[in-house]
Structure 1
Amino acid sequence: MEKTEVIKLLNRDLEDEHAAIIQYLAHAYAMGEGEVACEIEAISRDEMRHLDWLAETIVGLGGTPGLERGKELPGGKTVPDWMKNDVLLEEGAAKQYRQHIALIDDAKIKRLLERILSDEIAHRLKFEHFIEKAKKEGLVDVRGERRDETARALNWGIEHEYTVVLQYLWHGYLSRNAAMKEQMEDQAINEMQHLGWLAEELASGGGKPVLEHTGVERPLKKRDMLEADIKIEKTVAAEYDRAARKTADPDIKRLLRRIRDNELYHVEVFQDLVKKLGSS
């Protein structure tokens, strides 16, 4: 099989991993605190690892990882319904990985896909268990219809964090610079933490986290990538500061200021990388 065709297959797998991450996180956040929610978040981290492996492999083949999100299985009125949809998503993923393993000749890539497949099979079994556990424990959707200014600010933050997670990962993959890639991955992990903090705060406070992102900056030169990242961090740090000053809730105020300070730290990290590029 030609490299271009292998890249297409791997990008299809990557898109579906992206969809699984978002579907599982949405379910975990909607369930609030608890053992099942924590286990689902752990599964989503497995899917993030898969996405990373696939993206690295695509770049190694000379391709560009896609940022599109595959098809989710939304719907379901109860937590057990959600778990049934998660089972179906894992079954579809396993079927596709088996097909791609059969089609791809490269032994190393086949081995990687077989490794991922083993996780998907384990995930399906876990979600089957969660169906019964959700029924037994009476797990419910903890979200509400809160739509006030604080809820809008939190959802704005979720949208931003989702966007920059994708942006920093993409910049890291395409930079082909070890130091920059390491920092991009570190900051993407931190932004993912922010997304979780905001989503959990919103859901526990009666709101509905919206897991959507805006446009991702995709320059091809390393300096341009970093300049775009510095610009967005400065902008959002100011927005978090504004939102913190407006809210009367002391816990949310502390959360927003903590994230603001993290974003300002990212600015300094990216500025250091720009300086290193200039001296190299």
Structure 2
Amino acid sequence: DAIEPYREQIDLVGDPKVKRLLKRILSDEESHRGTFENLAEKVGREGMTDVRGTRDDRTVRVLNWGVEHEYTVILQYLFHAYMATDAEVREQLMDQAVNEMQHLGWLAEKIIDLSSSPRIEHTDVDQSREMVQMLDADIRIENRVAQAYDDATRELGDSRVVELLSRIRDQETYHAEVFQELLDELKKGRD
């Protein structure tokens, strides 16, 4: 069981950064377990079929908006990572870009589960070249999307979609906290 060691480590670790990261990983592991259990049950019951379709309702539009956001921030965080002159900032931007890739995948899979097809498009990418401006932009976009996902959880009726959006919202909040911590450290000068 991969989950229990994370729970134990969260209780043992004193460093808030490590604790926060372990909580994010634990959330992923718990979701993976449920996803794989459901998938195994579904495949056993129904077999494998192509479920893509053309459904286009409010739920699918919200999910496609999420795909668009995730694709945009993947590009933004990678650009910022390439431009960052601080190794820790660069590493965190890369890590968060990878997590955003997971979000995009989860949203796209949910869209397909709902008999539709994901639209992989992006909006404007912030191309700041100074780390303070980069992190400011990244914090703003994370806070906006966390609020948008939160609003969607109250609006949509599909509990599986609400659960997914809640999980992603919580991880977006984590990203904003990481970026804020990096920004604060940059502004006061690294110790």
TM-score category, normalised to shorter length: 0.7 to 0.9
Larger Cα-atom Rg: 1
Residue in structure 2 matched with residue 214 of structure 1 by the alignment:
123
Query: Structure 1-normalised TM-score?
Result: 0.50
Residue in structure 1 matched with residue 9 of structure 2 by the alignment:
none
Residue in structure 2 matched with residue 243 of structure 1 by the alignment:
152
1:176 CA drift (Å): 1.9
Which of 148, 162, 185 is residue 71 of structure 2 equivalent to? 162
Residue in structure 1 matched with residue 181 of structure 2 by the alignment:
272
Which of 100, 109, 113 is residue 200 of structure 1 equivalent to? 109
> What is the total number of aligned residue pairs between the two structures?
144
Which of 170, 177, 188 is residue 261 of structure 1 equivalent to? 170
Residue in structure 2 matched with residue 146 of structure 1 by the alignment:
55
1:1-280 correspondence to structure 2 within 5 Å: 141-280=50-189
1:143 CA drift (Å): 1.1
1:270 CA drift (Å): 0.5
Which 5+ residue runs of structure 2 have no aligned equivalent?
1-38, 41-47
Give the match's secondary structure for 1:213: coil
Runs of 4 or more off by more than 6 Å in structure 1?
Answer: none
- Which amino acid is 2:157 matched to? A
How big is the alpha-carbon RMSD for the aligned residues of Structure 1 and Structure 2? 1.5
1:141 CA drift (Å): 4.7
Higher relative contact order, structure no. (Cα contacts within 8 Å, ≥ 6 residues apart): 2
Between the aligned partners of 2:128 and 2:114, the Cα distance in structure 1 is 38
1:146 CA drift (Å): 0.7
1:142 CA drift (Å): 2.7
Which 5+ residue runs of structure 1 have no aligned equivalent?
1-32, 35-138
- Which amino acid is 2:134 matched to? M
Give the match's secondary structure for 1:224: helix
